[in-house]
Structure 1
Amino acid sequence: MKKSRGGDAAEEAALLERIRENDDPAAKEKLFERYQDLLHRFAHKYHSDRLPYEDAFQLAALGLTKALKRYDATRGVSFITFAYPTVEGELKKHYRDHLELIRIPRPLRDMRQRIHNESRLIWEREGREPDIRTLAERLQASEEDIVEALAAGQCSHVFSLDGTWRDGDDDAPLSLFIGSHDPAFEELEKEMVVERALRSLSPRHRKVMELRLKRGWTQTRIARELKVSQMHVSRLIREAVGMLREECSLCEEPA
């Protein structure tokens, strides 16, 4: 037998019919029992230090109640498809009206509301999320206006550093994810400058300096490797250091 996300499709249809015809309280209670998992998922997604879990759950339940009142089975859209954006819209509306700490200009707020309403209609009628072009055509606005309004919505929320972020199986404080100055970056930058300067040397000078700087070889060992005298290696190093100083002024003469 075909199953819906809320359970058996035929039984759900019967419950919805009882609610539509008689506003049957028992049918409503049974339907809400079917969608407890959905309500909890929304509550988990939207609860925060400013919106307790219980309040988020109640807002989700309010959205489900509104969806029940407006649902029309003759449109050929399943109840879950119709209800999902309505429930989420109720939570987003609460955030927008009561919990936004960053106020955005009124025209952008109005456009966001129009986008929300049109997106909900498209979802209810067609069972899909509209793209930017579709919204621009339906609302007779430019795609840039749509993008700007959506971006403004993303920027209107702030997060407390006392809040948490799920890191694997554990909840970690957001403050742990704040970056700090890393001295290694400064050393890396110096190494990159020196590397560029080394490439400006002749092959023989570069070979000597790479063995001295990167491998830490002594002049005696370099001399054996290149089959030259230690005095010759010392002279090559002095010449190379002079060239490097002209290039980057960062390298000191090796000890």
Structure 2
Amino acid sequence: MTASTTTEQDTTTAVAAKAAPKLDPNALTDSATDLLLAMTALPAKHPSRAALRDRAIEAWLPLANHLAHRYGGRGEPTDDLTQTAAIGLIKAIDKFDPTRGVDFAGYAIPTIIGELKRHFRDRTWDIRVPRRLQELRLSISEANSTLLQTLGRSPTVADIATHLKVTEEEVLEGLEGARAYNAVSLSTPTGDGERATELGDMLGGEDPDFEQAELRIALGPALATLDEREQKILTLRFYGNLTQSQIADQIGVSQMHVSRLLTRALTKLRGQLSETY
């Protein structure tokens, strides 16, 4: 070990020892800055740097915790927010360069807040939506609170659009996207007592009749192209559920003739419907 290295380590130890007694868990003091400056003054692989880094993180944690509590009450556990803020603090400490002339607090605060915002953007949505809609939801929420106090009433979509300088369609899109922030389980009970059931049981299923809806609408004009006797035969056969023999007795023709008339009428209908679709 060279004399210069020994002197450097002694200086670092002296600075750390001098700073340690001044650590205050309730407020940031010059010791927090001293620890950080002492750490950044050392080479990246210096044996004393890791210990100083740990102490610097501990000294600046009150700042991270303070910023984390500012985002409390938004549905996220406090422990998750403080951990996220601590990650932002660590990133700020690792990337801080005092030679740029910016004080650490001024650099760390935006870094920590950015980490917290990313946490809300990436971890708290039950259904992922585009980042644009996530940010628009936050803007709408802030605008709603501001306008509620300014106007003395609940703001309309037009009010919010004017305040944010966006279109009403964009506000509606943001409000619709906000519904993806929280999802409700299909197992959620509804009602009470003996009538209680799960939400999923109240959702409708596929109705196969919907596939026939357009066909039924087109069937009326197609039937109108048939002559009166053809319409009567189709009505007796498919609505009256009569056999060909019974139809023949009603209209006074042979069963064979009814069969031919029925085939001809159905061919006409298929032709009309194929032109429609």
TM-score (norm 1): 0.47
TM-score (norm: length of structure 2): 0.44
Specify the structure having the higher radius of gyration (Cα): 2
